[in-house]
Amino acid sequence: MPEANPAAVSFLANRRSRPAKTLTTPVPTRDQLKDLLTIAARTPDHGKLEPWRFIVLETTALKRLAETIPHYCADLDPEKTAKLVAQFANADLAVAVIASPKPSEKIPEIEQTLSAGAVAMNLLSAALAAGWGANWLSGWISHHRPWREEHLNLAANEWIAGFIHIGTERMAPPERPRPDLSNIVTWVES
Ligand SMILES: Cc1cc2nc3c(=O)[nH]c(=O)nc-3n(C[C@H](O)[C@H](O)[C@H](O)COP(=O)(O)O)c2cc1C
């Protein structure tokens, strides 16, 4: 039986995201981020297909992406557009976790998708465990195929599992309600 790790259990029991808009500098150095990405990639992956990859967006890239967004938002409420722009314009570091499914006769694409979500969760947890503030965001633009192909060079079969914003927290958010286990657990006795 593996040895109990009370610190890890306590971290997982209490972990929570820090809203991206409350994050500031400093952000992890490239070496620190490589450590977090190494942990993130240590994720269950049926068939060892590595159906995911990372795009690290540093400040200048984030500002450049922010400028592209209004061109895709002609039909969007201006307030929503401004919120999307701010997600990138005000950020100092975000990692785009890219779901990059591989052709496979054995591993269904949905399992590769789940693995990409697990990578994003692992990166979020690794960043929080290392003492950074972090937040998993998508935003409408992340599902916009022409935008992600033109500005993040995604292939046609790739998509964005999420942007993991990482930085220094200015304030810890209040706890939010958590699921009531009685609504989501079924015990099967026989
Ligand atoms: C795939 C995915 C996309 C998300 N996108 C957004 C988003 O665009 N905007 C937002 O406010 N929250 C978004 N969230 C929710 C945030 O991550 C939120 O802060 C999170 O639910 C906090 O969870 P925690 O307290 O358990 O860490 C997203 C969550 C997931 C899993």
Ligand 1: which of 11, 23, 84, 138 to mutate, most ligand atoms within 8 Å of CB?
Answer: 138
User: Which residues are registered as beta bridge partners of 164?
Assistant: 95, 136
What is the rounded average pLDDT for all residues in the chain?
A: 96
**Confidence at residue 50, expressed as pLDDT on a 0 to 100 scale:** 98
Q: Residue 76: pLDDT above 90?
A: no
Give ligand 1 pocket residues (Cβ under 6 A).
Answer: 16-17, 135-139, 162, 176
Decide which of 174 and 93 is more confident. Answer: 93
Ligand 1 atom at shortest distance from the alpha carbon of 128:
27
Q: What is the pLDDT of residues 98-107, one digit of tens each?
A: 999 999 999 9
> How would you label 65-97 residue by residue, b for 16+ Cβ within 10 Å and e otherwise?
bbeebeebbeebeeeebeebbebbeebbbbbbb
The model's pLDDT over 18-36, given as tens digits with 9 standing for 90+, comes to 999 999 999 999 999 999 9
